[in-house]
Structure 1
Amino acid sequence: MRLQDIAPISRSYRENLFGFHAFRYHPLVSGLGWPDDVLEQWLYDHGDNGAFLRDYGNLNLSAVAWTVEAIATQEFLAMPTGRSDGSCIDGYAADPNHWISVRQHGVHAGVSLCWATHGTWKRWPILVDRSLVDATTGLQVVEGRTRVGILRGRHRENDRVAPQHLAWVGRPAADPSQTA
């Protein structure tokens, strides 16, 4: 299954107010076996985003397995995002306090407190192993580009930043035919 297969479902469930909870039970979506947080942040919120479709359109979603990992700050400082939005992280990093200040209501309540208290984000971003996308190595930010930009900006400004940060990491799923 590819992202373009999910795009019309994502758009329909958002526009028709079915919501995320109904979206996650759609047979194509639930069949992926992905964690709800990854489904919501990536496929539901951005499944029909043009830049995401360009950058991840060829990714076989069924071939991705998800884990939560602790990633070092230093790794985030140079981690890219997709080519279509390649400079956006640096844009957010230019004024991290602004991007924290506009995230204070609704699902964003507590963002400022998490940065001040723990030196990290409230919600884990979505990263993928770049081997899933192209022939390179390392990790790439799919969703959470503002969060990673805030981290970079705070690091540059010597504000509190934790040495490690939790993130959802998608890696190639084990090929069942290769295990026995």
Structure 2
Amino acid sequence: MTTVGRRERKKVQTRQALADAALRLFLERGYDGVTVAQIADAADVSLATLFKHVPDGKEALIFDDGAQRREALTATVRDRPAGTSILDALRAFMSGRGVFATELSPELRRYRDLIVATPALRDYQRKLWAASEGALAEAIAAEAGRDAADPALRALARYVLEIPDVVGMGPDPLAAMNAVFDLLAEGWSGP
């Protein structure tokens, strides 16, 4: 059993206090109505401490570092039920997240709506999705018995990870997401 030291626990607590303060202020005042100084003040830390914990700026305050996302994506491919295609597993994974999710608690709905309504947060989230491309391509390659450097697999991973950005702002994101997955599964047959 690994014991987390006091310094590490304090880092986690400070990061959580910053994230909580940022989300609360963003929801109250809108993303553009909040400065990093206000977030630091609300979390009772110095501005230097805020930047030490979150060097990527205020966008990064309400997201994790993307590691959980990468692990969830690779687990979706690796641990999918027998007989379930990789694309079907990824479709099911995506359909329960963000703009595609239909059953969210009011708190999660407010969080999602904040991201959707804020270009800087959408852009940061897109970066997090894109950062998972290599790991997803490797997971797909391992399951398909192919080389992870195969450009077709890298393209497939990239296309899947771009779906939230490409269709997330439309009138029916879930239907659009399903149409993209159908196209990926069936291929393009032309006009």
Q: Same fold (TM over 0.5)?
A: no
Richer in strand (by share)? 1
Q: Between the two structures, name the one with larger relative contact order (CA 8 Å, sep ≥ 6).
A: 1
Structure-2-length-normalised TM-score? 0.32
Structure-1-length-normalised TM-score? 0.33
Quick check: which has more Rg, 1 or 2? Answer: 2
